Copies of this chain bind each other. A is one copy, B any other.
Amino acid sequence: LNEYSSKLLENAVNELSRLPGIGKRSALRMALFILKENPVYAANLAQSIVTMRNDIRFCSQCHNISDKEVCEICANPKRNSGLICVVEDTRDVIAIEKTTQFDGHYHVLGGVINPMDGIGPNDLTIANLIKRVGDQSVEEVILALPATVEGDTTNYYIYKMLHLFDVSITSIARGVAIGDELQYADEITLGRSIANRLPFDQNR
């Protein structure tokens, strides 16, 4: 006897439980929800997944997810193409766009260098970043990768590849988050935010 009383249910639970953060129990809850909903929902959900996977494109310049050959950010003449912010993935672009503080372009690496997972520089879009800096009139590259060993390794690799070009290479400020209390910040972050202090009238 099949644990789920049905091969159809079992298949759906198995496929759903491959999604990140979803165990068998959550997958079963999702499957039962889909069964209770109108069949139109199951059809729309399935269609959106397959269409996305088959038709999605990546911007030929910045490698961000895009529906066109060149993404809306890269194609926007109002944005500063002399400023490139290097990020790990699309979620970072979404987060930075939400701040409305950045008017430059992006470069989406698709990951960070991680020898343990077998991810080297050639698995990322680093070569194209070098090419962009070489070809275009790029003035500044902002490194906005995660503050992890892998992020730092990637930062350093990119720095080594770019430092002979006539481009300034910066890194986003690390410090105590606005709204966080000092006593709860970790020591490295707090130390960094003291070392990198700014004149009061510049720091807002």
What DSSP secondary structure best describes chain A's contact surface?
helix
Whether the pair B6, A51 counts as a contact (CB closer than 8 A) is: no
Whether the pair A33, B46 counts as a contact (CB closer than 8 A) is: no
Given the known interface contacts A48-B15, A49-B46, A50-B43, the answer about A20 and B29 at a Cβ–Cβ threshold of 8 Å is: yes
Whether the pair B52, A11 counts as a contact (CB closer than 8 A) is: yes
Whether the pair A67, B7 counts as a contact (CB closer than 8 A) is: yes
Please name all residues of chain B whose beta carbon is closer than 8 Å to the beta carbon of A53 when the two chains form the complex.
34-35, 39, 42-43
Looking at A90-98, A139-147, A188-196, the stretch in contact with chain B turns out to be: A90-98
Is A165 interfacial (CB-CB < 8 Å)? no
Q: Contact mask A12-30 → B, CB, 8 Å, 1/0? A: 1011101111100110111
C-alpha spacing A89/B4, complex, angstroms: 12
Whether the pair B30, A20 counts as a contact (CB closer than 8 A) is: yes
Cβ < 8 Å to B, chain A residues 20-72: 20-22, 25-26, 28-35, 39, 41-56, 64-67, 71-72
Cβ < 8 Å to B, chain A residues 85-122: 89-91, 93-94, 97-98
Whether the pair B21, A34 counts as a contact (CB closer than 8 A) is: no
Copy number in this complex? 2
Is A2 interfacial (CB-CB < 8 Å)? yes
Please name all residues of chain B whose beta carbon is closer than 8 Å to the beta carbon of A52 when the two chains form the complex.
6, 8-9, 11-12, 31, 34-35, 42
CB closest chain-B residue, reference A41: B18
C-alpha spacing A14/B51, complex, angstroms: 14
Whether the pair B49, A34 counts as a contact (CB closer than 8 A) is: yes
Whether the pair A46, B50 counts as a contact (CB closer than 8 A) is: yes
Cβ < 8 Å to B, chain A residues 154-173: none
In the complex, what's the smallest C-beta–C-beta distance from A114 to chain B, in angstroms?
Answer: 14
Whether the pair A48, B93 counts as a contact (CB closer than 8 A) is: no
